[in-house]
Amino acid sequence: MTRERYGDPDVREAAVRRVQAEWGIELPDSFLLFLDFLDGLDDTERQALRDLDVTPCGVSDLFRDPGARPREGVDIRAHGRYYRDPPEFLTFLHGGSDGLHFGLWSDDGRGCAGVASYWTHDGGGIERRHATPLEAVRSRIEGAHRDLADYAADGDPEEEARLAALAGLRTALTRHETGERTETGLAYAQAYEYRRPSVDTARVTTLDEAGALVSGETAPGRPPHPAADPHRFETFMDELFEDPAALRAAHAEALRRAAAGDPAEALVLGRDLHWASYGLPEREEYASELLAVAYRELDRPALAEIAAAHHRHRDLPDVDVLGG
């Protein structure tokens, strides 16, 4: 069995520099700890990770080959970038069925503030409850443990073997992080996963449910994240987007406010339109224009470049753009 290596210091240093140069983002120490975890897995633990359908991807690919080039004519910043991913989302891990994937989250396009995830093919919004990549992996381990526990309790030897493999993978992970969390399965979820996040007054509600870090006025005045009722807010925005005249007026008002020195509405409306583009050219164009203006006014140039690269390549049939 071929083992993927993530620990070579020269390769790692080159990949870190490449990410900084291409995406403008400084990778956090927690991501390097995630690589240490991957590199330290034995064959049994590696198989247990694969059985979870958890696979490094996106920016993680550069830590196997930091010199990898994208296909001709494609910007590397489109690598691992799914259609609805906000510019703040940098994919590093595929998490299973229905397009579940995880990304490092960067509000300013410079540093990272935790991990985000969502299901590309299964509705729902972006979750930002995990602080680190290994915390996200631990969540997948405990979710699988919770689902298997009842079958194993009935004496099913196959499920008992899978639980034992998960236990070994958990032990490997907790050597690096979350070792103080002794709960497993459902108890883990109850302790760390099922808590509603507190209202963050520094963030503004967005349709993708991740919130935007921005100050200023929005039209209409949006509550802080996540204080809005998700269903009511989604219904309101859907009605706005389905009314061409109202949408044009909202787009123009966001640009007017940004020109007057307040880019908050341009950012949140741009993020909303990006999330709800659904392949419609007008929404894609409005989203691209608003995000370019907002990120420029907010001094977030790396996010502006990521957004522009994504806009050029949103119709790619495959998010893996390296080689081939």
% helix / strand / coil in the chain, to the nearest 5? 50, 10, 40
Q: What is the pLDDT of residue 8?
A: 86
Q: Compute the average pLDDT of residues 139-154.
A: 85
For residue 226, is the peptide bond before it cis, meaning its omega torsion is within 30 degrees of 0?
yes
How far apart are the C-alpha atoms of 93 and 95, rounded to whole Å?
Answer: 6
More confident residue, 97 or 48: 48
55: its two tokens: 């696979």
Nearest one of 310, 39, 100 to 92, comparing CA atoms = 100
Taking only the tens place, the pLDDT of each residue in 228-281 is: 998 999 999 999 999 999 999 999 999 999 999 999 999 999 999 999 999 999
Dist. CA 247–CA 253, nearest whole Å = 10
Cis peptide before 220 (omega within 30 of 0): yes
- Summarize pLDDT for 23-39 with one digit per residue, the tens: 999 999 999 999 999 99
Q: Is the dihedral of CA 144, 147, 149, 152 positive or negative?
A: negative
pLDDT surpassing 80 at residue 168: yes
Instruction: Collect all residues with Cβ–Cβ distance below 8 Å to 241 and sequence separation of at least 6.
Output: 247, 273, 276, 283
What's the chain's average pLDDT? 94
Q: How far apart are CA 54 and CA 94, in angstroms?
A: 6
pTM of the model: 0.95
The predicted-structure confidence for 187-225, as pLDDT tens digits, reads as follows 999 999 987 788 999 999 999 999 999 999 999 899 999
pLDDT tens-digit readout, 174-188 = 999 999 999 999 999
Q: What's the rounded mean pLDDT across residues 83-92?
A: 98
